[in-house]
Amino acid sequence: VRGANRLLMSCTTPVAEGMDIWTESAPAVRARRAALEMLLSNHYADCRGPCFLQCPANVDVQGYLAFANAGMYREALALIRETNPMPLACGRVCVRYCEASCRRNDVDSPAAINFMKRYVADLEYDNLPAPASVSKTGKKVAIVGGGPAGLTCGYFLATKGHAVTIFDQQPKLGGMLRYGIPEYRLPEAVLDKEINYLLAHGIESRTNLRLGRDVRLDDLKRQGFDAIYIALGSWIAKGMGIESETHPNILSGIAFLEGVKRNGPPTLHGTVAVVGGGNTAVDASRTALRCGAEKVVILYRRSESEMPADEVEVKDARDEGVDIRFLVAPKRAVVEGGRLVGLECFRMELGEPDASGRRRPVQVAGSEFLFACDWAISAIGQEPDLQGLENETLGRIAVTKWKNIQADPETFQTSVPGVFAGGDAMTGPQAAIDAIGGARKAAWVIDRYLTTGTVEKFQAGFFSKRTALAPLDASFFAEFEKTARETMPKLDGHERTHHWDEVDLGVTATQVRRETSRCLSCGCASVFDCDLKVLSGNYDARQEHYMGRIKKHKLDDRHPYILLDGNKCILCGRCVR
């Protein structure tokens, strides 16, 4: 109340003539935040499971596993697509941050979340509803780069009624999902189906147009686009920096994989050395086998535990006969009479951790040896090709010292107002779901920008987390019965290297029922209508602010309909009244 010398409680203050009530004064806001933080400091509860929080697209994993468990596959797919519009692709290639963080890890092994995603997407994709018609806003958005970032951003903006055009240098959209990831992991027919459905939401696609060559940012501005989203990916292969690297039998990993997709598989022979330890190296090695190589060996300069490639991919490569040698790095290519004879290599040892947190590989003096090979494929990293950003009318688009596009991590706006960025071109090479998750947030920001003219940070909302207050006790996990994780049926390891058929065959309905029942349902059942959650977000409350001793309560489920969870008490007092 204006003029009062302290905050007054609305429930105990009688209304008086001429009273001037001010509900959002700074002291009132502070007091509410403090009250919320007091409640939260002993709110030993999870709004969402770690699977949701760790998935960059915040897919409602618990929800879709529950739908799948009930046989409601269509609903499961719809729920996934609310935040990840590429479940067919992700169901095959996602790096599964959710599974790495799944609570089931502490019982036995993580829920096979992504196998379930692929199952419902494969089964129900053809039954997705025709895109709903939305009223047009009259705003135009240009998206440069039609990989998962560009497609996702375009899709969410199109569903808001904006006119979206995607420009891409390649003949087909899909980015690295099409031109990097091989057919035996993500069949093009599957990717086409997904992309066609996204485009059907009213997105125009203009392919074979390279930014900087066929179209410039100045042209996009002249054509009246109200916002531009740049998602060019990371398409320049880093060189090994060794002598004779330009020999025709030494290929770059991404150019090799792109060539297979665009021109068909080349014929390789003899021994192929693949240098690197990431996804590109593993894909190049398995692809080399399918191109006729008799022997494929990956040379990686660190040890197995530092290898960035997905461990499932590494196992699949080994099952196909790929050999991996650790702590080896090339010194020079050895060419005799114009013929590649091999790579002279150093043996390495691990020193102190570097900027990436992994132990730095150090050459062992005098350890050089010849690794004989007929071909070498270099797959040691990529960076974006940012030539196309040059322009005369928009202003300089700043880049980071790692040569990525510099953009605000919460608004995705670059140094030029109205120009946004995302995906690998902004973050450096990551995974498809990072590109998708970021693009979804960028679409939210761009939509606000187009409709209100302001650039706001993406609002994730508040999430109560038990682990913010205290770790979970081992006794919590001991209560669950241990069960085996379902496995993905695959084509036979050696036979499959003779063709390009998809290796992972997909799980069965019985496996889905068993696997989905392994989910511990970590998130709160009230998450969709909880005032505490909404208010904590509105008032920017910090759960840890008044952290003290935590009381952990056991769930009381004696009543057939009422579950009493003392951890979520909000001191309303109804239980004792």
Chain contacts with ligand SF4 (rule: CB under 6 A): 43, 45-47, 49-51, 55, 57, 59, 61-62, 84, 90, 94, 96-98, 102-104, 111, 113-114, 117, 433, 464, 519-524, 526-527, 530, 532-533, 568
Contact between 191 and ligand FAD per CB under 6 A:
no
Q: For residues 553 and 157, give the distance between their C-alpha atoms in angstroms, rounded to a whole number.
A: 44
Intra-chain end-to-end CA distance of the chain, in Å? 31
Candidates 72-80, 368-376, 428-436, 544-552; binding stretch for ligand FAD (CB under 6 A): 428-436
Closer to ligand FAD by CB, 66 or 503: give it: 503
CB under 5 to 8 A by kind: which of ligand SF4, ligand FAD, none does 98 bind? ligand SF4
Q: Which residues, numbered 319-348, are part of the site for ligand FAD (CB under 6 A)?
A: none
* Cα dihedral: 115, 118, 123, 126 (round 10): 170
Residue 382 pairs in a beta bridge with 237
Q: Is 187 helix (H, G, I), strand (E, B) or coil?
A: coil
The alpha carbon dihedral of 480, 484, 488, 489 has a sign of negative
> Does residue number 146 form part of the binding site for ligand FAD (CB under 6 A)?
yes
Candidate ranges 17-25, 170-178, 328-336, 521-529; the one touching ligand FAD (CB under 6 A): 170-178
In this chain, which stretch among 48-56, 231-239, 403-411, 552-560 interacts with ligand FAD, using CB under 6 A?
Answer: 231-239
**Which does residue 430 bind out of ligand SF4, ligand FAD, none, counting CB within 5 to 8 angstroms by kind?**
ligand FAD
Minimum Å gap between C-beta 261 and ligand FAD is 11
Token code pair at residue 487? 């496995």
Residues 86 and 118 sit within 8 Å (Cβ to Cβ): no
Residue whose CB is less far from ligand SF4, 102 or 380? 102
- Pick the piece of the chain touching ligand FAD (CB under 6 A) from 17-25, 112-120, 210-218, 314-322: 210-218
C-alpha–C-alpha distance, residues 52 and 102, integer Å: 9
With CB under 5 to 8 Å by kind, the binding choice for 274 among ligand SF4, ligand FAD, none is none
In the list ligand FAD, ligand SF4, none, the entry touching 102 (Cβ below 5 to 8 angstroms by class) is ligand SF4
84 binds, among ligand SF4, ligand FAD, none (CB under 5 to 8 A by kind): ligand SF4
Pick from ligand FAD, ligand SF4, none: which does 421 bind, CB < 5 to 8 A by kind? none
Residues sharing a CB contact under 8 Å with residue 3, sequence separation 6 or more, in sequence order: 20
What is the total residue count of the chain?
A: 577
Nearest to 367 by CA among 324, 329, 323: 329
Work out what residue 181 binds among ligand FAD, ligand SF4, none; the CB cut-off runs from 5 to 8 Å by kind.
Answer: ligand FAD
CB closer to ligand SF4, 55 vs 157:
55
Cβ pair 543, 37 in contact under 8 A: yes
The DSSP letter of residue 353 is: E
Spatial separation of the C-alpha atoms in residues 69 and 71, rounded to whole Å: 5
* The three-state (H, E, C) secondary structure of 544-572, written as one string: CCCCCCCCCCCCECCCCCCCECHHHCCCC
- In the complex with ligand SF4, the residue whose CB is nearer, 453 or 573, is 573
521 binds, among ligand SF4, ligand FAD, none (CB under 5 to 8 A by kind): ligand SF4
Dihedral sign computed on CA atoms, order 259, 260, 265, 269: positive
Query: Do residues 166 and 174 lie in contact, with contact meaning Cβ atoms separated by under 8 Å?
Result: no
The yes or no reply on residue 98 touching ligand FAD (CB under 6 A) is: no
Residue 169 binds: one of ligand SF4, ligand FAD, none (C-beta under 5 to 8 A by kind):
ligand FAD
Question: Three-state SS for 317?
Answer: helix
- CA–CA dist 428, 381 (Å, integer): 10
| φ, ψ at 452 (rounded to 5°) | -120, -15
**Binding-site ranges for ligand FAD (CB under 6 A):** 93-95, 144-150, 167-170, 175-177, 180-181, 210-212, 231-233, 235, 254, 257, 279-280, 283, 385, 388, 423-425, 429-433, 435
